[in-house]
Structure 1
Amino acid sequence: MSGGTTGGGTARSGTAGGGTAHAGTAGGGTASGVGRAVVVDRPGAHRLVTVDTPEPGPGEVRVRVAAAGVCMSDRELYDGRRAPGYVRYPITPGHEWSGTVEAGGEGVGPELIGRRTVAEGFRACGRCARCREGETSLCTAGYEETGFTRPGAFADHVLVPARLLHLLADDADLRAAALLEPAAVVAAAVRSGRPEPGERIAVVGAGTLGLLAVQLLAASSPGELTVIDPRAERGRVARESGATGALDPEEAGRLRGVYDLVVETAGAATTGASSCLLARRGGRVVLTGMFAAGATGIDPVHLSVHQLTVRSVFGAPSAAWSYAVRAFTGGLLDPGPLVTHELPLERFEEAMTLVGGGDPGTGKVLLRP
């Protein structure tokens, strides 16, 4: 991995990921100053650079980043394992974040200034048939996402369209709110799974997605909520998050046709297929983990004979974001305890090493500008 050195280069606002930021603030003139941003020039090579404070264009806001989560997709971006078309180098990563609105461009109301917020990552067009149906994560206009093809939040500031904001309470914990992006993905899975009170539910994987899923699913009053993960420590955390039990994959492998709903979050080579085996006849399976090429396929004979409903999730539509923010504001979702490491931007390389390092004591890693 390349070292990240402050002053290793100077990038004008908007250069990491393409495009030039436009001037125009709501509520008071043109901002000036400098900030910092992590720029990944190519796989394995990054810099911590000094950048001009970005100016929001029409319909945009500038957000002062409070915290930004690091996930496996950021590691994939850094390692060069993200699928072509889903990353654009050079790029400032950071798609899980929270912060405070500092300025708005033309057309942005001054009432947004000073508000604590998160924002959707997908830059959906809002005009295609899928967007008009509310399925903004299926936008047909082409893939664009903050932190992958547009500059993200591993920086002091991030620019986003104001229409993508989800405002938080004035006293919201911004450290915990940085996990609302993965919580929105989980909310999309939970909404797809349609949990009902008293059901037997399994969550496969006890990473960030799995533990957030446990919290949201616990609110549906399941009769049983079991987490399946090979790491005993993660099983303990899952119980603290609301699970009624924890199994390792070997124990779970002896079960067949048990659960009404299975929410898969691990994205491991075999977990898609094994999750379908756990579901009862007529049960539901939601695949949330990101699978690599070559993962074990799902047996179509098993699907047809058992009449399973299988859904998949990639990102989160606007409705899932609203669901997650409501759950957070109402106290049903508390991501804060999942954070185990908080590092400054200067320690980006250390954050990359922690994520995916295999230590069961490593939960969510945050970068704090």
Structure 2
Amino acid sequence: MTGSAPCTSSRSVVVDRPGTHRLVTASVPEPGPGEVRVRVAAAGICMSDRELYDGLRDPAYVRYPVVPGHEWSGTVEAVGAGVDPALVGRPTVAEGFRACGVCARCRCGESSLCGGGYAETGFTEPGAFADHLVLPARLLHPLPDGVDLRAAALLEPAAVVAAAVRAGRPAPGERIAVVGAGTLGLLAVQLLAASSPGELAVVDPRAARGAQALGFGASEAHTPEQASGLEGRFDLVVETAGAPSTAAASCRLARRGGRVVLTGMFTPGAEGIDPVHLSVSQLEVRSVFGASSAAWSDAVRAFSLGLLAPAALVSHEFPLDGFAEAISLVGSGGSDVGKVLLRP
């Protein structure tokens, strides 16, 4: 192992079971062969983390007790045997899925469809609501020196958006709609604006979020009620809200022969997509869950080139011992709540 720990203890937020957490102090973890230790700079909290904390996440996708935190950035502090020591000191992010790398889907480059079983940082493996994080070096996506690590903490949702853009295949001059103007939606607006659309509309009931989307490159903002008059207009619709009605509404916004990409995490009972409309309109519908290695590379490249500006989405920051207050904000519906970060 190369590199040295700057301190002798490391804190982490452990969720023992739904609704119960504690701040634990232990020795600084050491990376094993093929692993790195990262000093966490910032970690974002999303609705998936709130669902984990509230016990609402599908049991197949969480393992208690767990240290949450799948959206993060940091600096490589030490490396294990077999890992390039030149990584020490590099700012970085990393993929969350622990893909096996050998199954048929992984060998085809579709690592988010790994058939080796579900494993993900912050859900089944220790996450970044901690001072330090140890993970396989193969998951790293190093960043340029001097990068804004506060902003880089949002590269995980940006990678999901990049996966949606890959699936949607936007072409210059197309009419595009983004349904939802939360973190995913606003990142989608930024990335899709770079494809030179002829029209880029955002649909969200919150006027302030619509205004923010306009600042990020959207050409127009609509409430869901206003958008009902635009059904059948768009070549590509990217759904990011995960609300009960947004999958069906997104399909209605698409033109005949159009494309729809669903990224929201829907709960049981959500409005279904009309199969008659789907077949008669000849829609192409794709869903996105997580991001492949290729999508991560796209997101990191766009961020490094300045095509993504995630820092403006951050509204609140808390230290690790402020986890209880931070998690209560996420999903609270507050108009001033954007991305909430923990800053170890």
**TM-score of the alignment, normalized to the shorter chain, above 0.5:** yes
1:326 counterpart = 2:306: no
Percent of aligned pairs sharing the same letter:
74
Q: Supply the AA of the counterpart residue of 2:179.
A: V
Q: Supply the AA of the counterpart residue of 1:74.
A: D
In structure 2, distance between residues paired with 1:95 and 1:32: 24
Q: Supply the AA of the counterpart residue of 1:275.
A: S
* Residue 218 (structure 2) aligns with: 243
Could you tell me which of 137, 153, 164 is aligned with 2:112?
A: 137
In structure 2, distance between residues paired with 1:323 and 1:237: 23
Q: Supply the AA of the counterpart residue of 2:2.
A: A
1:26 counterpart = 2:8: no
Q: Supply the AA of the counterpart residue of 1:57.
A: G
- 1:100–1:116 contact (8 Å) kept in structure 2: yes
Q: How far apart are 1:97 and its partner, in Å?
A: 0.2
* Residue 131 (structure 2) aligns with: 156
* Residue 280 (structure 1) aligns with: 255
* Residue 141 (structure 2) aligns with: 166
Q: Supply the AA of the counterpart residue of 1:26.
A: T
TM-score, scaled relative to structure 2: 0.99
Could you tell me which of 19, 26, 43 is aligned with 1:44?
A: 19
* Residue 320 (structure 2) aligns with: 345
In structure 2, distance between residues paired with 1:65 and 1:256: 44
Q: Deviation digits for residues 277-314 of structure 1, max 9, x if unmatched? A: 00000000000000001111101111110010000000
Q: Deviation digits for residues 225-259 of structure 1, max 9, x if unmatched? A: 01000000110111111111100011112222000
In structure 2, distance between residues paired with 1:232 and 1:115: 40
**Aligned pair count?**
344
In structure 1, distance between residues paired with 2:268 and 2:182: 21
**Structure 1 residue matching 2:92: 3-state secondary structure:** strand
In structure 2, distance between residues paired with 1:363 and 1:244: 21
Structure 2: unaligned runs, 5 residues or longer? none
* Residue 11 (structure 1) aligns with: none
* Residue 253 (structure 1) aligns with: 228
1:209 counterpart = 2:184: yes
Could you tell me which of 208, 220, 230 is aligned with 2:205?
A: 230
Q: How far apart are 1:27 and its partner, in Å?
A: 4.2
* Residue 354 (structure 1) aligns with: 329
Q: How far apart are 1:31 and its partner, in Å?
A: 7.9
**Structure 2 residue matching 1:39: 3-state secondary structure:** strand
1:83 counterpart = 2:58: yes
Could you tell me which of 263, 272, 289 is aligned with 1:297?
A: 272
Q: Supply the AA of the counterpart residue of 1:334.
A: A
Which range is displaced more, 148-157 or 252-261?
252-261
**Structure 1 residue matching 2:259: 3-state secondary structure:** strand
